[in-house]
Each structure stands twice: as C-alpha cells, then as structure tokens.
Structure 1
C-alpha cells in the first residue's frame, strides 16, 4: 500500500463504502457452515488461499461478517489477495495458528522546506470492527523512528469506555554517533507494547515535538504498528527517507482471527453452523476470551485443514519429511491411524523406540556378561554408598560440634522463643552455592578479620558473605550470643545482618550487599577513579556514621562497641548514604575487669592509644577512631602512610602538630578550602581534636559528636555554600544526557511504557 495521503484517503472512503454495504446487508443469526465450490480460486498470485478464506460468494465461510472475504486483482500489487473493501494487502494466512499477516502503512510526518513548516498529519487509522480480527499484542509493537519524535496510538472514538486505550513512545537523538544499528531503545527509535484484543487504532504525532529545528539532520518522523520480528532499525532511517523507500511505504503486521462470537460449547449446539467439520478435528476457544469466537485444529497425529470435510488426514510419521524419523532403529517404524509404532523384526529382540534390535541367540552371552558385570557394579556401588554414608555422618558430627562451639544451640533456642526475629541460620552448602564455591572472582574485600565475598541467595537477593578468621576460645563461646545481639540492630546507617553460618570451623556472616563500595575508596581511590566529593557531602556521611555509632553505644541493649571504626568499614549505598559495617572486632561493652581483652585488635592509624596501653576497649575507643575518619575527610590523606618520615606517618600526630602551631591550612584538602570559609573548617578540626584527646575521659561521647556534626552540616548547607543533590550526584555519576533536559507535559490518560520515558524528565 503506497505511503501517501491519497492512499490514506482512498482507504477511508473504501471503509465507509464497506459500512454502507453492511447496513444494507441483512444480518444472519447463525450462518450455515458450508464447503467451498470446486471452482473457487485457491491461489492469488504467489499466495495460497486456504479455506475458510475465499474470493467470491460460496468460496469462503459465511459467519455474518467480513472476516474471511478476500478480493484478488491480479493487476494490482503483484496479484496478492486483499481484505474485502479494505485495500489492505495480505502476505500470508495460517489455518493452524489462526493468524493473518497484512501490510501496515508507515505514517510519516515531515518538514517541508518550501513552506518552512511541518506537513499536515494524515492521522492514519484502521477500523476492523466489522470483522473478527484482533491485532496480535505479543508479536506486534508500536514503533516510532526519528529525532525529537513523540507519537501516540489510541483507540477510535466509537470504542467503548472499557476498551479505550492510549499509549506512545518518544525517540530522541542526543548525538549522531549514538545511533546504534539494530537497537530500538529510545535513541533514534523506540517501541512500546499494545494491549491485547484490539480491532482498531489511530496513529498521530504530538505537534509540540517536530523536526522543524533539525531538518538538516533528520527531516521526517515515522510511526507504525509493525511485526517486531520483521523490523530491524537502521541509522539511515533517521537521516534519510530510506525507511519508506526500502520498505515500499509499508511493513508487516500480524492479525489473529476467529470464527463468530460463540464459545466451542455454544457452537457445537448448532451443528449446521459448526465450522470444525473434519472427523479428526477439535475446537479451541479464542485466546481473547468468552464471546470472541473459536478456532479449529486437527487432532494429534493428524494434519490438514479442519474446516474441510475429511480435511484432517493421518500423518505418516514414518515417511513424512517434516518429522524426524521416530524410531531409533531404521526400518522398524509402522504407521497407524493417528499414531505409529516401532517393532523389532522377527528373530530379533530389543527396543526399537530408543535402543537397538539384536539377534536373540547373541542375547544369551550378553545376558551372562551383563549379570557378572552387574554383580561387580552392585558391590562397588554398595561399598561406595557405605563409605558415603560414613563420610556424611562424620561431616555431620563435625558440623554439629562447630555449631555447638559457636553458641548455635543458644542462638537457636533464642530464635524459637522470640517471635518475629528476622535472623537466618544458613548452611555451608547454601553459602557455597551463593558464592560459586567462594570463587576468588567474587571477593570484594579482605581485612584482618576475614574475607568478604559477593553472593546471591536462592531468593535472588544480593548479599555480602564474610568468612571470619579462626576465632579464639572466648569468641567461640560468645559468638552465638553476640550474633543474636547484632541481629537486633535496626538502624538506617548500620548494614543489616541477615544471618550467619555456624557449622564451619570459622563462622560466616551474611550481610545486605551495599553497591557503592567504601568511603576509603571514594576518598583515596586511584586517580581518576572517583572525583573529589564536596565537603557538604563529606559532612553528611560523617554525621550519618556518628549517628550509627551513637546508636550502638547508647540505645543498643546491651551497648555494643564497634572496635574497628575506619573509612574502609563505612560503606556507601546507591544514594551515598553511610552504612557502618564489619563488626568482626565488635564486642558487647564489658561489665567487669574479667572481660578485658588480652590481645589488642584494630587497625594501625586508628587505634586508641589508651586502649593499646590498658587493653581496655571502651566506647571512647570508637570516638578516637572516628576522629581519625574526620581527619581523612578534612585532608584526603591516609590515616597511616609508611612512606613518610617518623613524625608524618600518623595522620593524627601530624594534624595535632600543625593545629598546635596554627598551621591548619597546610594540611587541609585544597578543594575543601575553596568550598567553605575557614570558620567552618576550624570548627570541624576542633571537633576532631576533641575526639583525639589522649585521655578517654576528656573525649566527647558519640551522641555529642553526632549532635555537633548535625549543626555543622546545617552550616555547610547555607545558601552561599550549598550544592544541591542533583549537582552532587552529577559530580559522582556523570552529568545527565542532553535528552534528559527535555520536559514533557502529557495528557493524564496517556500510559507510557518504560521505553517511552527514555530521555524524558517529568515536569516539576
């Protein structure tokens, strides 16, 4: 069908003529199921016309509508059949699938250089309400090609309220080089699905978006409903007229058809109108629901046309080239009505379906050999099974001992007694599957307390699995109790502990996976890996971390001391929200001298000097370590640098030295000094100094630190020094694309798919 406005007008006139003919034609309540005359045309050009379709009276199935009525004009369109009075060209028809492929007209909208304006829209539409055709929603897609092109597909005005629809999609061109061949994902081309059961639609473009401003690059936009498998996007479709020229102005579209408007059960009651006339046929209700008609299929083992008397014939599976030879032994297939069988020849025995046929005499020797071999195999299998049972019991005993050592029985009893406790005891096998047997490629971190792997649970949840180092006897006894305490921590800035595995020598912990890595990597990552983050965001991360530690110290019951606060134990989620992690060195706050540690744990550069001297871990030890974290945010220097001279190795010592001499500006990060005034930076430095006091009783509590950081964060967000969240995210993840700056004001009843939002930002 030619893709021009004249053709469109001709089709509309033809449709109107069809409606007039229908109003003048007497309605039939139940058209009799008939058979075509022998003289009926069964081929038009190179297209075969299977019954129930036909050309002329007495050659098609009469159903009271125009579904199966075709015309054939050999002088037009290569002699292909057309839907009656539609002038719509038919490509092929399938009786088995109940489908029809036709040509769908490409709807162009182009800039006219003469008038310096867009040509008028043709508002192309199809109305198939006088037939029992439905547009296949699974195989077709509404497709828009072009730049700055927004098009809609909607129901016709006479559609009932329950079946009205409207959808669309937008194609943008952020850059010539980004037009990807074969990709229709929003750049130069977009596609969206349509609802099922449609028998009419109308296509139009949004006038607000047109090609008048980019006519030198892309003059036209195109919209069409097309068979998805038959469409392959090409970049030249955007910059030239190739889309119309190469396809002749039309592309394939798949229609589903059915007979009448009755279900199979209703249709069988009227034998004279029942269309499944072949003796070996069966009826299938339309997939579009009750009242949408039915189809006929040949029964299993038969093939042909179920709408013709004796149309379904037995399939000879033994000889039909369309089928693979069904027997494993050549020459043994015997065709039966509707079925087949595989029989070994005389004097042979075996399985001709999926085995072999052998001489009966040779079977005796084989039977003896098989008997001996079977006996040996049984002995080997029995011995192997006994050994496997022994090993399984031995491993189960070892796992049980580990489980008891790590306090698993206590933890299990507590979990049973506490209703609603969200904590899981994972098995070793579950965590091996989640990490692909702890593949080194899944390692996301290593530290003094163990190795962390990324994994995926059987429920599809991404998790971080930590294999702890070998625990001391005290830690083994207390592990189950401390896991129960940690599982009850519920704070937005603490990584959620899902559960643990206790049936191994060194226990494993399962946390929620946090995707954006550590604060250490963000601050000290390789040059160019991450941009320097604004100081306002650094303060926000510090405040969130302080809130989490204050929660552990003040509101957890009993209180928990983290014991290893450092930038590599502060994770960042998708929104760069801080999540305190790695409780490998954590412990419940000691209540007497007997609980003092005998071995100092932690990380050099962050360790509390008083803790190293007394072996007494307190909440003020976390405050000291947090003070070092504040210094890293202020200076972008590492807590410990072994390449420096003795007085410059430790960041805390270097900081206190320059601060005491009034040379604070020398150690601050240059970016920080450019963003904020010295007054704010001096207050943050003073807070860090208080955290780094040698005597723990002179340090503030984490609650006081959090409150002070909240105040300093508000100062950093003042209008003269604030960066909004979009600027921060753009700095960290890249600036938004050109296309995202376009705003779209859409009608409220338009429902766009995900693809439709490519390059569109909703108006604020």
Structure 2
C-alpha cells in the first residue's frame, strides 16, 4: 500500500512553479476604443479621440457608416495593423482600361496612392504589380514622373480570345498576365497607369476581354478569387515607422525600420506586450518554457531548480533519484503546507476586508466624495436631506441593473427604475464614466438639487459614492418626458390638450422663476428643453437634469463659461459671448413654449438651412401674421384665438435676440398664470404664492398692450415659500 501511495506522490510532483500573470496585452491607452468594426487598432494608432494616437500621423478615422465599421486614412480602408512587423494591410482599387469593338478606349482609370502626409510607405518586398490583358502595359511612376516598376502582358492569336478567368488560372508568365516586384521609390506618391503595346484594332467577340486591368497587391493576396469590375480592389502592404526614438515604452529596444526612413520599437527578450505602451515581463513558468524542477520567474528570464535528490540543469533535464530523500521531503512539505493553508486562509480574510474598505474609500474619493463633503459643509441644513445609499441597496433595487429596468440613456449616463426596501419606486442614474469633468458635473448636480425644494423640480433622494461610477437616486417620474408626449405620441397615450399644455407651461415657468429669484442661491439650469421636462402620474411638470446647472452669487449678473446646452434651445447671445445669464434660460423656455404651440421639434427636418431652427421659423411666421398656419392640430381645435395669440406673444418676447429685452422668468410666470386664469379658473385657486389683487386686469390683459403694466403693478410675488401654481384644475 505504501508503495502505491509513493508512486502516486511521484506522479503528482509539481514540474513547474507558478507566478501570477502581470496582466493581459494592453493595446490602447486607457479610455480609448480598441476596435473599429472587426479591425483592432493598437497604439500608436488611435481612433475616436486624437489623444488616443501617438500623434496626428497615426490617427485613423472610423467610418461607422460602413457595415461593419472600417478604419481609414486618406480614404484608404485599413484591414489589419501589425505591431510586430510594423505593417498595415490596406485596400486600394484596381486600375482598368476598357475598349469597344473597334479598339477605341471607352474609359481609363489610373490609381494614385498618396502617403506623403504620414510616415507610411508601400512595401517594396511584399507587394507586386500584376497586369491582366492582351498587349497591355502596366507601369508605376512617382510624383516626379520617374519610372518605378512595370511589365508588359502579351497575347498570341490563340491566347487573345481566352476569357479573363482562364488567364488568371494560368501562371503569370507574360502571356495574358505579367507580374513584377516593386522597385524602391523614394517619393511616396505613386500612380499606376495602363497603356496598350500596339495600336491595332481589337475585335469584339463573345470570348474577347474588353478591359485590361492592373493590380497592386500583397504577395499573399489571392488574385484568382478577384472578380474584376469598376469597384474591384486588392490588398497591399504598407510599412509604417516612428520618427521619434523616444516614443518607445518601458523594457523595449529601438531598431531601424526596413526602409531606413524611421524607427520601430520591439520588446526586449523575456518581455512581451505593445512596445509603444511598454512591455511587461513574460512569466516563463506559466507559459510552457522547459523546466523539470522548480521554476522561478525573473525579470526578462527564469531559473529552474531540480527537485530534491536530483541534480543537473533544470532547463535541460535533471538526473539522479533517492527515495528516502523524496519521502522525507514529502513529510516536511505536507506539514508546512498545512500550516501555510491556515495562514493563507487567515491572510485571505484579512486582505479581503482591507481591500473592500480601501476600494470603497478609493471610489468615494474618485467619485468626488471629498468635494461633495466640502460643498455641503457650507449648507449643513441640507446634509441630512442627501442620503448615502450603499451599493448593495441599489443593486437589489434595480435587480443588479437589469437592462429591462432601463428608463432612458443620455450623454451623462443611464437611468434605471428601482424599488427600495421601503417600497418606494425610484429612478437610479448611473454615470457613464468617472472622468474628472463628469465627476464635477455629478457633484454639481448633487449640490444644486440639495438646495432645491420645489414640487415642479425632480426631487433628489440621495446618492451612492462607493461604486466604480457615481449614482444618483431620484423620485420616480412615471409618464416620461414632455418631448415624448409632443413628438412621439402613441395611440395609448393621453392626448396633450390645450389645457394641459398651458398648465405645463405655467408649472415650468413657475419652477424656473423660483430657481432664478426665489431660491436661497439663484440657480441657472443651462439646459432647458422638452426632453428635460418630465411628467408625473398626474401629468404635472418636473424639471430634471441639473448636471450642467450653476448657482450664482446674488450680485452676479452672468456666468462666463464654456458653451454647453442643446442646439435648437441654445441662446444665440450666449453662444456668441460665452456669457450665460438668467435670460438664456428664458430663451430656452421660449423654444419649449413654441413646441407646445406648434407640436414641432426645436430643429426642424427641412431642406432650407434658414428654416431649420424652430425659434427663427416661429419669429418669421409671427412677423408674417401666419401664426395659425403652424399651430398644432390639438391647439387649433381647442384654444381660443385670443389665448393662442397671447401665449405666442409671450414666446416671441422670450425669443428676442437681445437678452436685455427678454422678460424675466418671474414676469413670464405671471403672464402665463394670467392667461390661464382668463380661461375660467380663479387665480387665487390656481396659485398658492401669486396673489392677483386686480383680478379684472389679470383676466383681460393682452401682452404688449397698455393694460399689461397695470396688471403687473397689481401683482405681488412671494419668495418665502414654494411659488407653484396648484395642479388641480
């Protein structure tokens, strides 16, 4: 029995040691795309963002209109990029020259390959020029007109009537087909041209080749499978090199490129990876390198020690064997292994706890926790209102962020529907990334929303900072956005009546008026649009998405910043000057008001450029007295003419190109409340904080008339509470 146990022990004796991998091959910079369609684009090349490439020479355009997407440079399609031999496999068209039955040239297409703008060069060793046809000459010249390469394809009387496919199947010996390698041409602009060896008339027959072709192709390209046409193409090898010898990463060597025009980076022996980003050590012990003993990895190499009782170089074999030494060694090893397992188990539990704590601290810091704590410290009354959720709470609430729970996706992240343990339905906003600029927007949104308590602003319930991306938790708004109700109306949706439109306009203007003039710190939203106005279960308006919003000092009149917003809603004055004022929000609200009136999108899908902007088109229509030609059918059917005209005049004033001539949001809210009061409801019942003392003036005023002034003089606006109009109709 003990002999059997000993044999099993010898069979299971470890042949090599182990060492953790240092990581897989990294081909691109962090945050950069690695593939365009099916093609891997490794560094020093890059796509998407120019910072992903070493420099502009190596930046490729990813043509996503193709299926699948294709990387390109100067309209040349790239099929493969090799870091190992510094080459690109690219696709270029074929040259052709076609004749009619009388030997006259119908059309002739030369091929030009221009690589001057980049450190690229056609390979002179791997590419060949091939011509197909009878009495055909194909030649290549550079930009200076110097001859580079060429060959002549001849045909006998019998050969001249062979089909092209038959010629391709035969060897390219000069009859019907000729082939020549490229000569080294210093100029990188090359032109492939076709010509005829003789001027005799070619007779058109059923079997006659009506076109001659010239193909520049890699030696591995299968010409027999090429179907010639005016769109046929072939694969060529393009060599690339770097000009700066300091562009190599760690653990690399610098070599001259084959054409002697630049450098290439290669990993040092014992290292692997992308040499332009840095090579890492090869773990020879785990990658099958020869070793009959105990393997130990070293930087750039490895050592191999023979088992106890044996001697010799482990890499080439071990000799000798003593049974007593093996048995004694096994007993010692088993005892040490038992103790080691106990120690490792305890160490594993300790490290796991430490890593969990450090990971949460890392995420908290990276996600702006310190910045959030600093911002909220100046508003201690709001700290308790912003609850910090755990990652476990939100994973459970969203069913581990199941795709079926997605409510919407935008430029800043994805919103999931979730249910908390107390039964509340919430919306969880998961940011797309943790770049510094996005973290700043995330913290900004938390700080802004923590200062707002308004029934027509989406309520922030809390946030989570211990995950890899920041999370915000909002109250759930069930009925989608105003944009969907105006522009994506379905049969099962409640029709948006004139009464609803006017109420939504009053609610949004009241909320913006609160943000501008009634909040403890004035707040500019900076991205008012119908997509950021949500509708709750009672179709009350809720302003959302404060990622780009900014709070202002009381004595500050404008904010000079990078232009942000949505085209179609963007204040032209802000776009020109980069100075955002409260009147910029007024302009954006004016566009939303026009959407409610016309049912049209902020950017209209029309051919003429001048009519694409809904705001500009609306002002033109007003000036031409054609308002009722562009109204939405629901508005045209339900609203009184005087009501529509009054609301349209409010929109016109909001869209004034001179920001100083626009009304404030407080004035807009009062005017719209007055219009709403004029269609039957008492102003005192509709507005909790707006007190119309002179009700008759409020009911009968007209925008722009003299009665407007007396109306506003009779109105008081409270900033001590929530200046919202009632949602009861």
What TM-score bracket applies, with the shorter chain setting the length?
Answer: 0.3 to 0.5
| TM-score between the two structures when normalised by the length of structure 1 | 0.42
| TM-score between the two structures when normalised by the length of structure 2 | 0.44
Higher relative contact order, structure no. (Cα contacts within 8 Å, ≥ 6 residues apart): 1
